[in-house]
Structure 1
Amino acid sequence: MTLAFGHQLAATWLELHPEASAYQVVEFLEEQSFRARVAAVEVYVAAGKSSQEEALVLLEHESRSYRDLMRKELSTGELNLPAPGAR
């Protein structure tokens, strides 16, 4: 899920559920993330790029690494996002 998609998904969900707690928002996003990871595993396996087990391990590793990077950047206040219009 890209950052922009994740933001729009959360914003739209909050519009539909204005009384939701932060916990409920995070729970919803975790559920959507899980669904996206399952779909990615299915694509890897269908394309013959890896077995289901290998794809699950790879995606779990990437998820942990990405979360560690986000935690580091958010804790230092230095979230390194590309400038608008940069590719």
Structure 2
Amino acid sequence: MTLAFGYQLAATWLELHPEASASQLVEFLEEESLRARVAAAEVYVATGKTSEEGALALLERESRSYRDLMRNELSTGALTPPTAGDR
């Protein structure tokens, strides 16, 4: 998921579920992320680029690396959401 898509997905989900808690939103986004990673792993395996185990290991490493990057950007204030005009 790109960052802009993630913001749009979260914003739309919140519009559909205005009474939802932050933890419910996070749960939804985690589920969507898992679905995307599983689909990517299936593509890697289907195209013969790697085994199923190799694809899942690669996607897990990429996911941890991305979380580390986001954690760093959030802690330094370098991550800024798009403005309303960018959506």
With normalisation by structure 2, the TM-score equals: 0.88
In 2, distance between residues paired with 1:16 and 1:78? 29
Name the CA shift for 1:62/1:16 in 2 (closer, same or farther; >3 Å). Answer: same
In 2, distance between residues paired with 1:14 and 1:80? 19
- List alignment gaps of at least 5 residues for structure 1: 82-87
In 2, distance between residues paired with 1:4 and 1:77? 17
Give the counterpart letter for 2:38 in structure 1.
Answer: V
Name the CA shift for 1:20/1:66 in 2 (closer, same or farther; >3 Å). Answer: same
Question: More relative contact order in 1 or in 2 (CA 8 Å, sep 6+)?
Answer: 2
Residues 32-86 of structure 1: per-residue CA shift (max 9 Å, x gap): 00000000000000010000000000000000001011101111112389xxxxx
- List alignment gaps of at least 5 residues for structure 2: 82-87
Query: 1:1-87 to 2 correspondence within 5 Å?
Result: 1-79=1-79
SS of aligned partner of 1:69: helix
SS of aligned partner of 1:79: coil
Number of equivalences: 81
Amino-acid identity (%): 80
User: Root-mean-square deviation (CA), in Å?
Assistant: 1.5
In 2, distance between residues paired with 1:6 and 1:39? 17
